[in-house]
Chains A and B, each alone.
Chain A
């Protein structure tokens, strides 16, 4: 169910898409935060000739789309839900780079929500396209929901 907490999301839920323009600050700041010094992400002085969005920023897109679709757990805004959650798997496929100045549209849905070994998992699928339709990234993400005390130590 959209509009509530992350833990209320269900298999088949389709996110309201988000759209934004990639800025030099977003790319450079994100790269800087991981000590990534490649010029691809900081200026246009690289083999692509344009400043590139770090491909791992798909995870930022996940945060953005959750912010738009989970009204009671806007993590970027500082809100917290009733249940802790732990990112378990990242899987991004790059179809083309996205560049500073381009507008991108992020869409996606919940592929599955299931229990495995007593843990509840949420499987997200996201897709990033430029506003004129070029496919940039497809992304699958597994997140462990309703994390319980002590689980991390097992």
Chain B
């Protein structure tokens, strides 16, 4: 949590591997509603939680809210950069394919640039993405974190 990383261009960050299960989809959607209302809520039927409804909307099956993968990417950055990410971080994620129920998600990160700043800090630019267990990208993005000189 308080790690002060020394990373170089090309270094990989440790991302999690998780399967998209219906429980995980419901956990996120319910948590989002609970956080929005400050009371414990449970999600109803939507394209994420209801396979038949998702099919009626043109999807192959139920799919994870993209914010689940964004949060998993953010988790990787919290682990790698701690408070520096929370104070001076940036994350962009683009959902380029639906992440369907049952998919094994591999969260990946690789340092693209590490640049010393005039104030002694180091600015990291990181490619961030999620791929399935066949290596097909479902989420693409990048992050920036300015790590303070210690």
Query: Which residues of A approach B to under 8 Å, CB–CB?
Result: 20, 23, 25-27, 29-30, 32-36, 38-40, 46-48, 52, 54-57, 59-60, 63-64, 67, 76, 78, 84, 86-97, 147-153
**Provided the pairs A64-B36, A87-B65 are in contact, do residues A149 and B58 lie with their beta carbons within 8 angstroms?**
yes
Chain B nearest Cβ from A118, distance in angstroms: 14
Question: Interface SS of chain A: helix, strand, loop or mixed?
Answer: mixed
Taken together as a complex, chains A and B put the C-alpha atoms of A54 and B32 apart, in Å, by 12
Of the four ranges (under 10, 10 to 19, 20 to 34, 35 or more), the interface on chain B belongs to 35 or more
A63 touching B1 by the CB < 8 A rule? no
**Provided the pairs A78-B44, A84-B57 are in contact, do residues A36 and B71 lie with their beta carbons within 8 angstroms?**
yes
| Chain A to chain B contacts (Cβ below 8 Å), 12 pairs | A26-B34, A33-B27, A33-B32, A34-B72, A36-B71, A47-B82, A52-B86, A56-B67, A56-B91, A67-B36, A90-B92, A92-B92
Chain B nearest Cβ from A150, distance in angstroms: 4
Q: CB-CB < 8 A to B37: which residues of A?
A: 76
What residue in chain A is nearest B16 (Cβ atoms)?
Answer: A35
Given A87-B95, A95-B88, A151-B58, 9 extra CB contacts under 8 A = A23-B38, A47-B83, A84-B57, A88-B94, A89-B92, A90-B91, A90-B92, A94-B89, A149-B57
Chain A nearest Cβ from B43, distance in angstroms: 10
Q: CB-CB < 8 A to B28: which residues of A?
A: 33-34
Q: Of the candidates B58, B70, B71, B94, which one forms a contact with A152 in the assembled complex, judged by CB atoms under 8 Å apart?
A: B58
Q: CB-CB < 8 A to B85: which residues of A?
A: 55, 94
Q: CB-CB < 8 A to B70: which residues of A?
A: 56, 59, 90
Q: CB-CB < 8 A to B1: which residues of A?
A: 38-40, 46-47
Interface centre among A35, A64, A147, A149 (most CB of B within 10 A): A35
Q: Is B74 an interface residue when CB atoms closer than 8 A count as contact?
A: yes
Q: CB-CB < 8 A to B125: which residues of A?
A: none
What residue in chain B is nearest A20 (Cβ atoms)?
Answer: B38
Question: Interface SS of chain B: helix, strand, loop or mixed?
Answer: helix
Q: Of the candidates A40, A60, A91, which one forms a contact with B32 in the assembled complex, judged by CB atoms under 8 Å apart?
A: A60
Taken together as a complex, chains A and B put the C-alpha atoms of A151 and B59 apart, in Å, by 8
Q: Of the candidates A78, A91, A96, which one forms a contact with B91 in the assembled complex, judged by CB atoms under 8 Å apart?
A: A91
B57 touching A56 by the CB < 8 A rule? no
Taken together as a complex, chains A and B put the C-alpha atoms of A34 and B68 apart, in Å, by 6
What 8 A-B pairs are tightest by C-beta distance, nearest first? A33-B31, A149-B58, A34-B71, A30-B35, A91-B92, A93-B90, A150-B58, A26-B35
A33 touching B30 by the CB < 8 A rule? yes
Q: CB-CB < 8 A to B88: which residues of A?
A: 94-95
